[in-house]
Structure 1
Amino acid sequence: MTELNISTTAGVFDATAAGPAEGRPVLLLHGFPQTRLAWDRQITALAAHGYRVVAPDQRGYSPGARPERPDDYRISLLVDDVLAITEELGWTTFDLVGHDWGGAVAWWTADAHPGRIRTLTVVSTPHPGALADALRTDEDQRARSHYMLDWRETPKTENDMLADGADSLRALYAGKVPQASADAYIRQLSQPGALTAALNWYRSGRPRHAIGTIDVPTLYIWSTDDAAFGPAAAQGTEQWVNAPYRFEALRGISHWIPEEAPETLNRLLIEHLQTHEEH
């Protein structure tokens, strides 16, 4: 693995890269409250199969791309970051993979720029349209998503998460993330302004337009013990994809799939990429 600093008009994104420079390009987008470190096992596996893999710390997580206003974390700007990063890397098309908030960005990017995306893989996060449907009709999903409202409070949320050695922040990982990784996430999010920037993803307001259906080959991986996303939105996601679609439900696995079930995720991801080599 090598470290990159990717300069864009929005700032400088720190990233990890691996695999041959001429390999088929794959971009990995992490979620909250994590960093590109969450993808280490996937980076290693993909690089070993000849893919060129880049995993950036996204907006707010990279110190060089950390604006202060919640409005600077609108989903349209997060999608712009994906395009700017890949253009700086010289990638005209690429495979896109996202988990948690990175999954949401991946859905929106595939909707807005289907010609740039060879395949889409989303881990945990349902299609935003399916999630919106579930929030309207499913009491279970409304209860699961209530934390998003709570986290809009500032600076109370930051103070609570970082109090007592960041105990409540650490508790979000539910013991499913390796301790060394959790320690690294907490160190990074304890930097001045870092946690506020990460929480600004929740505070940026609703998207300014509706998302549509997805027209690129899609793999969606959900886990039955995910505390944030229930079965209604997960099962409803299929209705929002018009291209070849594969849904995998991992039994007994929590939200933290890349680190809790890396071998399974790696197998499914590589199968998906290989199935759509000619797309």
Structure 2
Amino acid sequence: MAEHIQIPTPAGKFDALTAGPEDGRPVLLLHGFPEAAVEWSEQLGVLGGAECFAVAPDQRGYSPGVRPEQVAEYRVEELVGDVLAIADHFGWERFDLVGHDWGAAVAWSTAAEHPDRVRTLTAVSIPHLDAFTRAVREDEDQQQRSAYMQALRSSTAEKTLLADNAAKLRRIYYPGVPQHHVDDYVQRLTEPGALTGALNWYRASRFNGEIGPITVPTLFVWSTEDVAVGSTAALATEQHVTGPYRFEMLQEVSHWIPEEAPDSLTRLLLQHLLAHPE
């Protein structure tokens, strides 16, 4: 069973779930929008049992102790800084990095900028950001899939998502996320300031620069029924990884891979870690 802890950093205290021995192989798991560390419940248990020290924080805006008010404080530079600050707290010189959705975007950026710190990268659902940016710019299918981002950046997004007992927020999780997780996420995001913190990731995002090639061993897992990410960027991701690369496509699975297909994802993740022990 995962343990609840708090991780002190210069930005504030992150709430987190951990599993496994503290002297085990360090694995950091980053959740997506609009979720929390609990999305990694299944993976935490298995990793802990495999003698890894797995840590899944509630990220900036999601942790009450790290919920700045200014949109600029949710830029990717700050989010990458949080990853390194958490690793530094545990004294990790190198660690395995796993991310889903927005957590994957942060993981791609961290691996690009700090390959000396990242032993392996596992990105779930979100392709390499350069491939994704090009698809948003040039691919009509991806443009349609990404149209929702503008709505989430609007000043009325909180009101819209929380109206009628958070009906539209709840709809985001369908299908794929278990109901007990949905209830947990909605409860968290209805706390004062929580949904604004989560939405500020979108408001601060600017996919207008290149992060460059990824040199660390990389596993990318994408699913065919992902409504937010099409095949164009997913298939193009290999062009942006110069290190060892593995691409896995899960059939008939939605965007919510860690919760909808936990066994498949965990098996792939363990294989990836075992293939790259150093």
- Do these two structures clear the TM 0.5 threshold for a shared fold by scoring above it? yes
For 1:35, the equivalent position in structure 2 comes to: 36
Secondary structure of 2:22's counterpart equals coil
For 2:130, the equivalent position in structure 1 comes to: 129
In the TM superposition, what is the alpha-carbon distance from 1:192 to its structure 2 partner?
0.3
Secondary structure of 1:52's counterpart equals strand
For 2:147, the equivalent position in structure 1 comes to: 146
Aligned Cα RMSD in Å? 0.9
Q: Determine the C-alpha separation between the residues in 1 that align with 2:142 and 2:207.
A: 20
Secondary structure of 1:206's counterpart equals coil
Name the amino acid aligned to 2:225: D
For 1:226, the equivalent position in structure 2 comes to: 226
Name the amino acid aligned to 1:85: I
After TM superposition, where is structure 1 displaced by more than 3 Å over at least 4 residues in a row? none
Name the amino acid aligned to 2:222: W
Q: 2:97, 2:120 within 8 Å by CA — same for their partners in 1?
A: yes
Secondary structure of 1:64's counterpart equals coil
Q: Determine the C-alpha separation between the residues in 1 that align with 2:203 and 2:81.
A: 18
Q: Determine the C-alpha separation between the residues in 2 that align with 1:258 and 1:183.
A: 17
In the TM superposition, what is the alpha-carbon distance from 1:209 to its structure 2 partner?
4.8
In the TM superposition, what is the alpha-carbon distance from 1:93 to its structure 2 partner?
0.4
For 2:189, the equivalent position in structure 1 comes to: 189
Name the amino acid aligned to 2:224: T
Q: 2:133, 2:208 within 8 Å by CA — same for their partners in 1?
A: no
In the TM superposition, what is the alpha-carbon distance from 1:108 to its structure 2 partner?
0.1
For 1:255, the equivalent position in structure 2 comes to: 255
Q: Does structure 1 residue 117 correspond to structure 2 residue 118?
A: yes
Q: How many residues align?
A: 277
Secondary structure of 2:116's counterpart equals helix
Q: What does the per-residue CA deviation read over 1:48-73, in whole Å, with 9 as the maximum and x for residues that have no partner?
A: 11110000000000000000111110
Q: Determine the C-alpha separation between the residues in 1 that align with 2:68 and 2:189.
A: 15
For 1:92, the equivalent position in structure 2 comes to: 93
- Unpaired runs of at least 5, structure 1: none
For 2:103, the equivalent position in structure 1 comes to: 102
Secondary structure of 2:4's counterpart equals strand
For 1:62, the equivalent position in structure 2 comes to: 63
Q: Does structure 1 residue 269 correspond to structure 2 residue 269?
A: yes
Q: Determine the C-alpha separation between the residues in 2 that align with 1:176 and 1:235.
A: 23
For 2:237, the equivalent position in structure 1 comes to: 237
Q: Determine the C-alpha separation between the residues in 1 that align with 2:219 and 2:56.
A: 19
For 1:178, the equivalent position in structure 2 comes to: 178
Name the amino acid aligned to 1:250: L
Q: What does the per-residue CA deviation read over 1:57-107, in whole Å, with 9 as the maximum and x for residues that have no partner?
A: 000000000001111100010000000011001111000000000000000
Q: 2:26, 2:53 within 8 Å by CA — same for their partners in 1?
A: yes
Q: Taking structure 1 as reference, are residues 34 and 205 closer, same or farther at Cα in structure 2, changes over 3 Å only?
A: closer
Name the amino acid aligned to 1:238: E
- Unpaired runs of at least 5, structure 2: none
Q: Determine the C-alpha separation between the residues in 2 that align with 1:139 and 1:92.
A: 42
Name the amino acid aligned to 1:11: G
Q: What does the per-residue CA deviation read over 1:237-257, in whole Å, with 9 as the maximum and x for residues that have no partner?
A: 000000000000000000000
Q: 1:152, 1:199 within 8 Å by CA — same for their partners in 2?
A: yes
Q: Does structure 1 residue 11 correspond to structure 2 residue 12?
A: yes
Q: Determine the C-alpha separation between the residues in 2 that align with 1:273 and 1:184.
A: 30
Secondary structure of 1:272's counterpart equals helix
Q: Determine the C-alpha separation between the residues in 1 that align with 2:18 and 2:91.
A: 14
For 2:166, the equivalent position in structure 1 comes to: 166
Q: TM-score, normalised by structure 2?
A: 0.98
